[in-house]
Amino acid sequence: MPDSAPSQPPLGPEVDSTPRPLPARIPHRGASVDLEPLHTRHAAELWQASQAPGAEPGWAYLGYGPFTDEAAMHRHAAGFAAQHDPIAWAVRPHRTGTADGWLTLMEISPADAAIEIGHIWFSPRLQRTRAATEAMFLLMRHAMDDLGYRRLVWKCHAMNQPSRNAAARLGFRYEGTLRAIKVIKGRLRDTAQFSILADEWPARRDAIAAWLDDSNWDAEGRPRAPLARVVDSPLPWIAG
């Protein structure tokens, strides 16, 4: 009796394996915020932003900061600006006109079409504002639409509930927790991981864009509908 043909083990779907472009150190302009490639010229404004009341807790889950003086902030900005992974942008809200935080694209894998948004530090005057959401959205849209990445990742300290809330609000799907994966400032860290995939992105993009649209904002600068509600309506599976 002839041998039967060997069975093929299960494999993932075939995809376009063309490597994606690396992000460039270029500015991004939004309706309420500008992203500028991080430079030492931002250090003085970033230092002032870091001195705002309530800024101290914002450093708790980052691997650096708070900084002792403007010179220390300048040294950090110089080192950060010299890297391409992570590649960092200063966040300049139109409302204040000053650099009030930074964020990055990082863990860039062109061959796998995977990229992460991270190293997000927003001063209190930027937190929970339209400009903060738009700053993140500009990089998310750049990675997925302009550069064609297939997987966008968000990771945070598993105990960082505000970051977990932000991930859910922006439409990232929770994937799991990597246990005891890092030591940050002498403490063991579990990392919660989230992602948006290419086929999920258009619905998320449209929901965030609708929330940011001028029609969703009243004369006092308040959103008429919260982003969580806009996202949860067409995408009930990301609730919670």
Q: Count the domains in the chain.
A: 1
Taking the C-alpha atoms of residue 21 and residue 103, their distance in angstroms, rounded to an integer, is 19
- Residue 12 maps to a domain: no
**61: domain range?**
28-238
What's the mean pLDDT when you consider all of the chain?
93
63: left (phi over 0), alpha (psi -120 to 50) or beta: alpha
Is 19 within 8 Å of 111 (Cβ atoms)?
yes
236 pLDDT higher than 60: no
Q: Which two tokens stand for residue 40?
A: 């030492």
Is 159 within 8 Å of 167 (Cβ atoms)?
no
- Residue 5 maps to a domain: no
- Residue 140 maps to a domain: yes
- Residue 9 maps to a domain: no
Given pLDDT bands bounded at 50, 70 and 90, which one contains residue 178?
A: very high
- Residue 224 maps to a domain: yes
- Residue 186 maps to a domain: yes
Q: Which CATH number goes with the domain that contains 140? A: 3.40.630.30
- Residue 1 maps to a domain: no
- Residue 59 maps to a domain: yes
The pLDDT tens digits for 31-44 are: 999 999 999 999 99
The pLDDT tens digits for 65-112 are: 999 999 999 999 999 999 999 999 999 999 999 999 999 999 999 999
Class of residue 118 by CB neighbours under 10 A (exposed 0-12, middle 13-18, buried 19+): middle
Percent of the chain with pLDDT over 70: 92
Is 201 within 8 Å of 207 (Cβ atoms)?
no
230 pLDDT higher than 90: no
6 pLDDT higher than 90: no
